[in-house]
Amino acid sequence: MFFHIVLERNMQLHPRHFGRNLRENLVSKLMKDVEGTCSGRHGFVVAITGIENIGKGLIRDGTGFVTFPVKYQCVVFRPFKGEILEAVVTMVNKMGFFAEAGPVQIFVSNHLIPDDMEFQIGDMPNYTTSDGSVKIQKDSEVRLKIIGTRVDATEIFCIGTIKDDFLGVINDPSAG
C-alpha cells in the first residue's frame, strides 16, 4: 500500500555547501540519502514530494558540520499481511516462484500455488495447468496475496500466495 506521509530527518551538511544554494543542496542531499531506502516502520521511500519545513541549523562542535532538522513529505510503499498485490515474476523454479513489486521481493512457494498447476522444466521453467490454459513463467504478471512480510534496512521480503479466489496470472507475456 502507498502512503503520503511527513517524515523528519536530521541532515548533516558540510560547510562547503553553505551559501546561496544551501537549500537546494540540502534537498538534493536529502533525496540522495532517503529515496530508495527502507525503514521497518514506514517501508520503502519511493519519492520525496515536498519539503514541509527546514529547522534552525545547529553547528557541531569541532567539525563545522551543521545539522538541520528537515520535515519532508514523501510517498512510501509498505506491503501488509493480507494485502493483494500485483507483481512481476522474476524467477520460476521447482520450489515456487519469485516475483517483484517495485522494491519488494515476494516468494510464492509451490505449496501456495493451486494444486492443478504443475512445474514444467525447460528453457523457460513454468507452472502450467493441466489443460495448458494458464501459465506462470518469467515476466508473467500475477496478482497475489501477502501472507508474511519482513522489512530490512534495504530490502523488503514477502511471502505470498495465489491459492485463493481471483488470484493468479493477470497478463501472460507469451500470449501478448
Cα–Cα dist 119/37, whole Å = 35
For 128, counting Cβ atoms within 10 Å of its Cβ (0-12 exposed, 13-18 middle, 19+ buried), the class is middle
Cα–Cα dist 105/96, whole Å = 13
For 29, counting Cβ atoms within 10 Å of its Cβ (0-12 exposed, 13-18 middle, 19+ buried), the class is middle
* Residue nearer to other proteins on the CB measure, 123 or 165: 123
* Residue nearer to other proteins on the CB measure, 1 or 58: 1
Question: Minimum distance from CB of 96 to other proteins (Å)?
Answer: 7
Binding footprint of other proteins on the chain (CB under 8 A): 41, 80-82, 91, 93-96, 98, 105, 107, 109, 111-112, 119-121, 123, 125, 146-150, 152, 155, 157-159
Between strands 141-151 and 96-101, the pairing is unpaired
Question: Minimum distance from CB of 129 to other proteins (Å)?
Answer: 16
* Residue nearer to other proteins on the CB measure, 68 or 149: 149
Name the CA radius of gyration of the chain, rounded. Answer: 22
User: Letter for the amino acid at 3?
Assistant: F
Residue 154 C-alpha cell reads as: 534495504
Question: Minimum distance from CB of 13 to other proteins (Å)?
Answer: 32
Contact 23, 54 (CB under 8 A): yes
* Residue nearer to other proteins on the CB measure, 21 or 174: 174
Question: Minimum distance from CB of 174 to other proteins (Å)?
Answer: 17
Question: Minimum distance from CB of 95 to other proteins (Å)?
Answer: 6
